[in-house]
Amino acid sequence: MKKDPLLESEIWNSAKTVMSAPPGCLTTQQSEQNIMKSILTSILFGIFAVVSTVAAADPKFAELKAPSKDIVDTAVAAGSFKTLAAALGAANLVETLKSAGPFTVFAPTDEAFAKLPKGTVEDLLKPENKDKLVAILTYHVVSGKVMSKTAVTLDKATALNKQEIALAVVDKALTLNKSAKVVTADIECSNGVIHVIDTVILPPTK
């Protein structure tokens, strides 16, 4: 570890100030105690300054900051939710999920959408099927910010479309409707949280 000239100077100056006090002003014991206090104070100040500098420079510490991207921007930036992003646009739900929320989104990956029968996604993106698309997408969204530590204690959640999602922990993984599994949890966003799922869940038919 490199020496910090500023820290060393601060320690030396503090010690020198106490040691230069006029004779008789301090007893030997008091002088030694004051010197130690000054040195310890300077050391602590220096350590705090070093840690602060490292924290600001280390990208690992940046992750501790409050997330700046909303749910939509976070999903787009991830690069694995292209189908979801296109569907949100076709359903006119982008502005909803960019609003204050908070929301909890169970986000299917592109691979999850690819599991649907051939031609399903293309049909859902057609203007005439907008209502059906909205129903499916809002079934993946829950009002409020529900982190995984809370979700695993629940047996159901009510989606934005007012229908219930069955929740259960199977083989140490949170599952939805006994079909979709959360593969990545707790991606925090400025207006909620994303839990990545491996299968698209479909709302119950009436």
Q: Which amino acid does the sequence have at 161?
A: N
Question: Where are any strands of DSSP class E within 85-172?
Answer: 103-108, 141-143, 156-158, 164-170
Band of residue 62 on the pLDDT scale cut at 50, 70, 90 = very low
Q: What is the radius of gyration, based on Cα positions, of the chain?
A: 28
Q: What is the pLDDT of residue 37?
A: 53
* pLDDT, tens digit, 9 for 90 and up, residues 90-148: 999 999 999 988 999 999 999 999 999 999 999 999 999 999 999 999 999 999 999 99
d(CA 97, CA 82): 15
> What is the pTM for the complete model shown?
0.66
Q: Where exactly are the structural domains of the chain? A: 5-62, 71-197
Q: Residue 175 belongs to what H/E stretch? A: strand 173-176
d(CA 177, CA 93): 23
What is the CATH superfamily name and number for domain 71-197?
A: FAS1 domain (2.30.180.10)
* pLDDT, tens digit, 9 for 90 and up, residues 10-24: 444 544 444 444 544
d(CA 134, CA 170): 29
